[in-house]
Copies of this chain bind each other. A is one copy, B any other.
Amino acid sequence: MSRLLDQLRAAVGDEGLATDPAVLRDHAHDRMPLAPYGQPLAVVLPADTGQVQQCVRACAAAGVPIVPRGAGSGLAGAANAVDGCVVLLTTRMDRILELDVANRLAVVEPGVVNLALREAAAAHDLFYPPDPSSLDWCTLGGNLATDAGGLCCGKYGTTSDAVLGLEVVLADGSLLRTGRRTAKGVAGYDLTRLFVGSEGTLGIITRATLALRPLPAVPATVTAVFGSIEQAGDGVQRVVRAGVVPSLMEIMDATSLRASAAYLGVDLGGDDGQAMLLGQSDAGGAAAEREIATMAAAFRAAGAVLIRTSRDPAEGGVLLQARRVSLTALEARGACLTEDVAVPRTRIVELITGCEKIGVDAGLTVAVVGHAGDGNMHPTVLYDRDCPQQYARAREAFDNILALALSLGGTVTGEHGIGKLKQPWLAREAGPVSMRVHRLVKQALDPAGLLNPGCLFGPAEAERETP
B444 x A443 contact (CB < 8 A): yes
A190 x B194 contact (CB < 8 A): yes
Residue of B nearest to A286 (CB): B286
Q: Mark A442-467, 1 if CB is under 8 A from B, else 0.
A: 01110000000000100000000000
Residue in A181, A245, A287, A437 whose Cβ sees the most chain B Cβ within 10 Å: A437
Tell me the complex Cα distance, A454–B453, Å.
35
Q: How extensive is the interface on chain A, given as a class?
A: 35 or more
B184 x A214 contact (CB < 8 A): no
With A286-B286, A433-B177, A440-B445 as given contacts, are A411 and B374 in contact (CB-CB < 8 Å)?
A: no
A414 x B182 contact (CB < 8 A): yes
Q: Does A191 contact B (CB under 8 A)?
A: yes
Q: Mark A116-160, 1 if CB is under 8 A from B, else 0.
A: 000000000100000000000000000000110100011001101
B190 x A196 contact (CB < 8 A): yes
Q: Does A170 contact B (CB under 8 A)?
A: yes
Q: Does A96 contact B (CB under 8 A)?
A: no
Tell me the complex Cα distance, A440–B189, Å.
12
A220-228, A353-361, A423-431 - the one binding chain B: A423-431
For chain A residues 328-381, which have a beta carbon within 8 Å of chain B?
A: 342-346, 371, 373-376
Q: Mark A252-276, 1 if CB is under 8 A from B, else 0.
A: 0000000000000000000000000
Tell me the complex Cα distance, A188–B76, Å.
13
When distances are taken between beta carbons in the complex, the residues of chain B under 8 Å from A198 are: 189-190
With A102-B240, A214-B244, A410-B182 as given contacts, are A188 and B154 in contact (CB-CB < 8 Å)?
A: no
Q: Does A415 contact B (CB under 8 A)?
A: yes
Oligomeric state, in copies: 2
Residue of B nearest to A245 (CB): B214
> Closest approach, in angstroms, between the C-beta of A285 and any C-beta of chain B?
7
> Closest approach, in angstroms, between the C-beta of A312 and any C-beta of chain B?
21
> Closest approach, in angstroms, between the C-beta of A214 and any C-beta of chain B?
3
> Closest approach, in angstroms, between the C-beta of A328 and any C-beta of chain B?
24
A188 x B414 contact (CB < 8 A): no
When distances are taken between beta carbons in the complex, the residues of chain B under 8 Å from A343 are: 182
Residue of B nearest to A412 (CB): B187
B188 x A243 contact (CB < 8 A): no
> Closest approach, in angstroms, between the C-beta of A92 and any C-beta of chain B?
24
> Closest approach, in angstroms, between the C-beta of A438 and any C-beta of chain B?
6
When distances are taken between beta carbons in the complex, the residues of chain B under 8 Å from A202 are: 189
When distances are taken between beta carbons in the complex, the residues of chain B under 8 Å from A230 are: none
Q: Does A213 contact B (CB under 8 A)?
A: yes
> Closest approach, in angstroms, between the C-beta of A216 and any C-beta of chain B?
9
B184 x A153 contact (CB < 8 A): yes
Q: Does A417 contact B (CB under 8 A)?
A: yes
When distances are taken between beta carbons in the complex, the residues of chain B under 8 Å from A178 are: 434
With A286-B286, A441-B444, A444-B443 as given contacts, are A184 and B376 in contact (CB-CB < 8 Å)?
A: yes
Residue of B nearest to A430 (CB): B188
B193 x A194 contact (CB < 8 A): yes
With A286-B285, A443-B444 as given contacts, are A214 and B243 in contact (CB-CB < 8 Å)?
A: yes
Q: Does A324 contact B (CB under 8 A)?
A: no
Q: Does A22 contact B (CB under 8 A)?
A: no
Residue of B nearest to A435 (CB): B188
Tell me the complex Cα distance, A231–B75, Å.
51
With A176-B437, A240-B102, A286-B287 as given contacts, are A245 and B213 in contact (CB-CB < 8 Å)?
A: yes
Q: Mark A156-173, 1 if CB is under 8 A from B, else 0.
A: 011011000000001000
A426 x B187 contact (CB < 8 A): yes
Q: Does A104 contact B (CB under 8 A)?
A: yes
> Closest approach, in angstroms, between the C-beta of A110 and any C-beta of chain B?
18
Known: A101-B241, A180-B410, A190-B196. 15 other contacts (CB 8 A): A100-B344, A104-B345, A149-B186, A153-B184, A158-B184, A175-B433, A176-B434, A181-B409, A184-B374, A184-B375, A184-B415, A190-B193, A190-B198, A193-B194, A444-B444
